[in-house]
A and B are shown apart, each in its own frame.
Chain A
């Protein structure tokens, strides 16, 4: 475990991270993990982060060493897409039982690795450490090493048990595993001056394929994408790339920086979210490749493609402008890509009433200010209750956020769009931004909102009827209360036919009735459920012979 904690310290010391560079030595040592608050935390663990980062390698078997929770509760739940291989979506776990915990799980792990190779024969297996085996001291590094030697396959230990920290740390630990065991272990079949690596791109909803055609057109080859739709062989030989792009996230900055150090691959941080960002990233890729020896005509060709694509995208967004006029959007994201989305939404004519800046750097915030003006509403951290209030007070017309705050918006009957990783639409590149605008339009103008916000009509009807009945009953009660005898006689005996006590008493008295059957004959009383009550009435009435006059008449 000591090597793991040393590695974590090293990650905290990341010189490539702008945020880190601004910290004091003591602050840096503490690391960038916010202390988790018991009972107030949300978010994945380090194991989750490692799995997210590596699982998009599609031809690799991902084996989770731990009890059922770690894999059983989470497998096949990511939206990454694969162009062919499917083994990455197969859930493999040692499903540790009580016995394994008592006697150690290493043997079981080794057997599991062997079973996978026999049955599925993948080019490599990634073995993920989890909390329980880490606690009991299962040494997955040793097991993986032994298995690699015996079975002749790369078996890669990913040492990132959940309790060492949050998701973000897991991303970086996964990167370390790649750097230590995978990158540089194989050679590509051939290389070109146009080879690049994409680092930290997971091909969610296949969004990489929204950009790849443009790269293909320019003759730029993605030597390795870490890790979306990636293959083991590609990442193993990724050290031969000419340049790298760290896509839209600082999660794997350690991989980009160390590859620059070790193999001299220059990288830049870029994003394909938003039109300007896409153009900027394409330009930067071209510039870096030319710097590393690619023919300089690449830059001219790139500009041509950019000009064409931008024109197409703007033209496609144009028709939405009048529809979006006056519509206000609230943007709650991790914050990293806030400003790139802000620019695009504004271009489409939406007014931004607020954006979250929780994970944004200083520069990000400056850019947002530039875009949204000095009084930009930047939200550091907002509780669901506050978001809910903001939405119900109709301060926004649509909310764009990650899946976690989804129901806050939807339950406030407010249009909502998923712009985080679980979403089912791809929003990358030029076409992706057009798609985003389309989706916003669909959400904003769906006819359900008006229906759902309308008050329930029968609430009002019911209320009116209720007041009416209450008034009526009060009036009646007052009448009855005036005369206690009337009140007594007005009591219903037979509820089915609404026959009151007075009627029955009169009938008994005038006809000298003695049985329920007789009462039934002389009144409307049904004698079903009220049989008992009629019997009671009969019992309390003095048996009197009917008046002589009536007897005579009969």
Chain B
């Protein structure tokens, strides 16, 4: 049972948090033919765009209403109208998703009313999907933006099931949290299809940001779930929500279409996947394919091989709540101690993180805690690189953004196979660090009587680890 604390300092140093509208825009990118639009000054979009491009190494659709100082004072109706018309005429999108920012929330633009007016003024837009989500920068974080946007997509786009319509017993809705990568979604799709199920992912980043090469140049998203498919999600027999952040969308789906849901807070680790596979077997009425028996065995073996290296490690982790919960729980189950945990925003899972205290803070806090508590494994997004260099401890990059390594879109953590590979990667980092930085020397044990590091490893422990 962890206590959640918030910092008292006035200056955030080395932010961990990414702003809410970026998370909202990210969710829209999982729809086919989508153009996310940030209602704010052009910098809001440009910074977000740079983050996405550097993370995925892909062209990313993201537009701006380009609010000027004058427009901010007078209200942004004209900017929203022009932006929608320009995008509609030039990019020929299937959906435009609008997220507000700090500027336009501060001046109080009523975008829902604007949209209503725009539809009246321009009949060609009367039934065109225009979805607005309120995502001020000065509140919440990336994950919240995603959560709100997916819930909104469900509320607006799905259609209630007509009384006479039949549900498709094989069809399943999947609502993935923003901590899953396109690679994770592909892995889940394979698993579900192996049980004879037909999944619809909302959003489906695996269709748009998996790096495939489109035949034609398209200014909008190049794949993902179509608006028509979202509309028909009410025909599914189940909704699977992944990550606590997706509860809201799953509940909205149930309220509107009556599709029952099951929430999986985690899909990394042995036990969560056992539950997941058991559930799939149950709803599909099929026995678990032999493939997954083998994968489970492989994961078990990976745990056996890796526990020597991960067991006892003191983990410092900075991530958004669902990713934090997922990874820290898995490593806790591998014998690591979750020693420093920092996150960006409130969430019901935080209390259940296997540590004493979870801080809603920044990377300065994480670095400081890691130093004073003698952590020897760091997990956070790419911005942790400076802290890792100063702390001189193994660093595994997880979360968004990951701009200084390639392959971010295909980093796996779900399923038996994904967990297995992740465990190998982290264990190998630990091994490499030991070989490079902790080789035993004739003096390794000489000073054993002196306290080594307050709160850190004991000398003997440290020395033994060096040799192991």
Contacts and interface: CB of A to CB of B under 8 A. Distances in A.
Contacts of B64: 38-39, 41
Interface stretch (B40-48, B223-231, B415-423, B440-448): B40-48
Contacts of A70: 43, 47
B80 interface: yes
B293 interface: no
A403 B51 CA distance: 12
Interface stretch (B98-106, B194-202, B238-246, B371-379): B98-106
B12 A92 contact: yes
B386 interface: yes
Contacts of B21: 69
A77 to B, nearest CB: 6
B15 A100 contact: no
For this complex, into which size category does the number of interface residues on chain A fall?
35 or more
A44 B42 contact: yes
A74 B47 contact: yes
Interface stretch (B213-221, B261-269, B282-290, B391-399): B213-221
Contact of B17 (A68, A389, A408): A68
B103 A135 contact: yes
Interface string A75-92: 111000000001001111
A108 B10 contact: yes
Contact of A48 (B43, B65, B136): B43
Contacts of B87: 39-40
A95 B67 contact: no
Contacts of A116: 11
Interface in B101-154: 101-103, 106-107, 136-139, 141
Given A73-B22, A131-B72, A411-B59, A41 B47 contact: no
B82 A39 contact: yes
A211 to B, nearest CB: 26
A77 B59 CA distance: 18
Contact of B11 (A47, A76, A111): A111
A73 B47 contact: yes
Interface in B1-40: 9-15, 17-19, 21-22, 37, 40
B291 interface: no
A119 B364 CA distance: 11
A411 B12 contact: no
B364 to A, nearest CB: 8
A93 B43 contact: no
Interface in A29-81: 36-48, 63, 66-77
Nearest to A93: B12
A98 B138 contact: yes
Contacts of A86: 386
A97 interface: yes
Interface in A137-176: 161-166
A356 B107 CA distance: 39
A234 B376 CA distance: 39
Interface string B439-459: 000000000000000000000
Contact of A135 (B45, B72, B141): B72
Nearest to A71: B15
A72 B84 contact: no
Contact of B14 (A47, A75, A134, A166): A75
B296 to A, nearest CB: 26
A163 B103 contact: yes
Name which of B42, B63, B72 has the most chain A CB atoms within 10 A of its CB.
Answer: B42
B69 interface: yes
A39 B85 contact: yes
Contacts of B47: 44, 48, 69-70, 73-74
B386 to A, nearest CB: 6
Interface string B66-80: 111101100000111
A68 B86 contact: no
B217 A385 contact: yes
A2 B107 CA distance: 19
B53 interface: yes
A495 interface: no
Contacts of B465: none
A39 B37 contact: yes
A162 B104 CA distance: 13
A102 B463 CA distance: 55
A43 B46 contact: yes
A232 interface: no
Nearest to A38: B83
B462 to A, nearest CB: 28
Interface string A239-271: 000000000000000000000000000000000
Contacts of B63: 39-41
B190 interface: no
A136 interface: yes
Contacts of A135: 72, 103, 106-107
Contacts of A101: 106, 138
A68 B138 contact: yes
A163 B104 CA distance: 11
A36 B102 contact: no
A498 interface: no
A404 B57 CA distance: 11
Given A39-B63, A68-B12, A135-B106, A411 B213 contact: yes
Given A162-B44, A163-B67, A38 B106 contact: no
B361 to A, nearest CB: 10
B18 A73 contact: yes
A72 B103 contact: no
B325 interface: no
Interface centre among A41, A69, A108 (most CB of B within 10 A): A69
Candidate in A39, A119, A136, A389 with the most chain B CB atoms within 10 angstroms: A39
Nearest to A51: B43
A77 B403 contact: yes
A37 B67 CA distance: 9
A86 B65 CA distance: 36
Given A38-B64, A73-B47, A97-B139, A407 B59 contact: yes
B65 A39 contact: yes
Nearest to A44: B46
B54 interface: yes
A36 B69 CA distance: 12
Given A135-B72, A411-B213, A68 B15 contact: yes
A131 B66 CA distance: 12
- The 7 tightest CB contacts between A and B, nearest first, are A45-B43, A39-B83, A112-B11, A39-B86, A111-B10, A38-B83, A69-B19
Interface of B: 9-15, 17-19, 21-22, 37, 40-51, 53-54, 57-59, 63-69, 71-72, 78-80, 82-87, 90, 101-103, 106-107, 136-139, 141, 213-214, 217, 219, 383, 386, 403
29 contacts: A38-B66, A39-B90, A45-B42, A46-B43, A68-B12, A68-B18, A69-B102, A72-B12, A73-B19, A75-B15, A75-B383, A76-B383, A77-B54, A90-B14, A93-B15, A94-B11, A94-B12, A96-B102, A98-B139, A109-B10, A131-B72, A132-B137, A135-B107, A162-B43, A163-B68, A164-B69, A384-B217, A385-B219, A407-B59
Interface of A: 1, 36-48, 63, 66-77, 86, 89-98, 100-101, 108-109, 111-113, 115-116, 119, 131-132, 134-136, 161-166, 384-385, 388-389, 403-404, 406-408, 411, 413
Given A73-B22, A163-B68, 18 more contacts: A41-B42, A41-B66, A45-B42, A48-B43, A68-B137, A69-B21, A69-B47, A71-B12, A75-B14, A91-B13, A101-B106, A112-B10, A132-B102, A136-B106, A163-B67, A166-B42, A407-B59, A408-B59
